[in-house]
Amino acid sequence: VKILAIESSCDETAAAVVVNGREALSNVISSQIDLHTLYGGVVPEIASRKHIENINYVIEEALEKAGSTLDDIDAIGVTYGPGLVGALLVGVAEAKAISFAKNIPLVGVHHIEGHICANYVENKELEPPFICLVVSGGHTHLVKVEDYGKYTILGKTRDDAAGEAFDKVARAIGLGYPGGPKIDKISKEGNPHAYEFPRAKITDNAYDFSFSGLKSSVLNQINMAEMKKEKIVPADIAASFQNAVVDTLLTHAMMAVKESGMNKLAIAGGVASNTAIRAAFEQKCKEENIEFYHPSPILCTDNAVMIGSAAYYEYINGKRDGWDLNAIPNLKLGER
């Protein structure tokens, strides 16, 4: 089964051709990051407009690189939520138009399910059930992947997403947008124990996360230093912040692995490309004899390969969408 996948939920216009959910024949990503950096974050109207300008070229290139034409595509997979409504609509309208014109089945995909499925592409032996920690710009979900397309959310963030916290802290220490990769880089020169930032614990669901307290604590530290006319060391702030995030994510993920009796753990989403997170998870899983999976960085951040993988499993489960498929900005995982 050959799927043409389209992703436009945020600031990446992406298309890919994916075979049987596991093999990427192409992976084209047109990022708008430079454009949004000017404003310190994603501007929805600009994102939508850019998607419209780029989407046809991105799809053509994905088909061309895969050595395919629309005539040998079996289904079209497209992200229909969650994300920015205007951005999502561009991909959904495009997918519906191609599907209608060429009479190709249409499959709507949940963006976060896509992030999880990125793991299938580079880990051919990975099969459910497993625990997946999704850490992205807008989500922090601890998920039990019961089967293909079947998810139970064990815990999620009560406030900021992990990626959001990275981006906000980066802005506060003057690193600019997007902050995650910059914090990752600068932290290598910093002392992770320079500051003792808080690790939030949620009492009524130990699997839930909270990052706003950590973020505030970092901001307070910076403001206090400013008042006392002391110099902060950005690398120390970054490394100490990152260390707190790594700690929290690792503790939660390990708890889920142990309590579920599963021996497999995967991570997904843009923040999963963080080198400190990967190293800490790798080491802990080795110690505890847990199989650890992660996509390569390019499949952690937004791409269409992951959407093609998720679409494949939905497709073989019989999911088809009609012309009423619409963008759903706050679509929940496991909902239709």
The H helix count followed by the E strand count for the chain is 11, 10
Q: Is 236 in the site for Mg ion (CB under 5 A)?
A: no
Nearest residue to ligand ATP, scored by beta-carbon proximity: 270
Q: Tell me if the bond preceding 105 is cis, omega within 30° of 0.
A: no
Pick what 21 binds: Fe ion, Mg ion, ligand ATP, none; C-beta below 5 to 8 Å, kind-dependent. Answer: none
Shorter beta-carbon distance to Mg ion: residue 10 or 325:
10
Give the containing element (helix H, strand E) for 37.
helix 33-37
| Contacts (CB under 5 A) with Mg ion, residues 283-312 | 302
- 125: number of Cβ within 10 Å: 7
> How many residues appear in the chain?
336
Shorter beta-carbon distance to ligand ATP: residue 99 or 309:
309
Q: Where are the beta strands (DSSP E) in 269-323?
A: 291-293
Shorter beta-carbon distance to Fe ion: residue 180 or 190:
180
Rounded CA-CA distance 28/14 in Å is 6
Q: Is 11 in the site for Mg ion (CB under 5 A)?
A: yes
Q: Is 11 in the site for Fe ion (CB under 5 A)?
A: no
Q: Sign of the C-alpha dihedral, residues 271, 306, 296, 288?
A: positive
Shorter beta-carbon distance to ligand ATP: residue 25 or 88:
88
Closest separation in Å from C-beta 17 to ligand ATP: 21
Pick what 116 binds: Fe ion, Mg ion, ligand ATP, none; C-beta below 5 to 8 Å, kind-dependent. Answer: none
Has 180 been labeled as part of a binding site? yes
Closest separation in Å from C-beta 272 to ligand ATP: 8
Has 134 been labeled as part of a binding site? yes
Which amino acid makes up residue 115? H
Q: Which residues pair with 5 in a beta bridge?
A: 16, 77
DSSP state, residue 128: S
Interface contacts to ligand ATP, rule CB under 6 A: 9-10, 83, 111, 115, 136-139, 163, 166-167, 178-181, 184, 269-271, 273-274, 301-302
Stretch that binds Fe ion, among 131-139, 188-196, 230-238, 309-317 (CB under 5 A): 131-139
Query: In Å, how far are 23, 86, 132, 148, 210 from 123, measured between CA atoms?
Result: 10, 33, 14, 15, 30
Q: What are phi and psi of 335, to 5 degrees?
A: -100, 160
* C-alpha dihedral (237, 239, 241, 247), degrees to nearest 10: -160
Q: Is 136 in the site for Fe ion (CB under 5 A)?
A: yes
Site map 67..96 versus Mg ion, x via CB under 5 A: ------------------------------
C-beta of residue 13 within 8 angstroms of C-beta of residue 30: yes
Closest separation in Å from C-beta 9 to Mg ion: 8
184 is written with which tokens?
A: 């990752």
Buried-exposed string 59-70: b where 16+ CB fall within 10 A, e elsewhere: beebbebbebee
Pick what 83 binds: Mg ion, ligand ATP, Fe ion, none; C-beta below 5 to 8 Å, kind-dependent. Answer: ligand ATP
Compute how many residues bind Mg ion; rule: CB under 5 A. Answer: 4
Q: Is 302 in the site for Fe ion (CB under 5 A)?
A: yes
Which amino acid makes up residue 271? V
Q: Is 10 in the site for Mg ion (CB under 5 A)?
A: yes
Shorter beta-carbon distance to ligand ATP: residue 136 or 221:
136
Please enumerate, by residue number, every residue annotated as part of a binding site for Fe cation. 111, 115, 302
Q: Which residues are annotated as a binding site for substrate?
A: 134-138, 167, 180, 184, 274
Applying CB under 5 A, the residues found at the interface with Fe ion are 136, 302
Query: Residues annotated in the binding site, as ranges?
Result: 111, 115, 134-138, 167, 180, 184, 274, 302
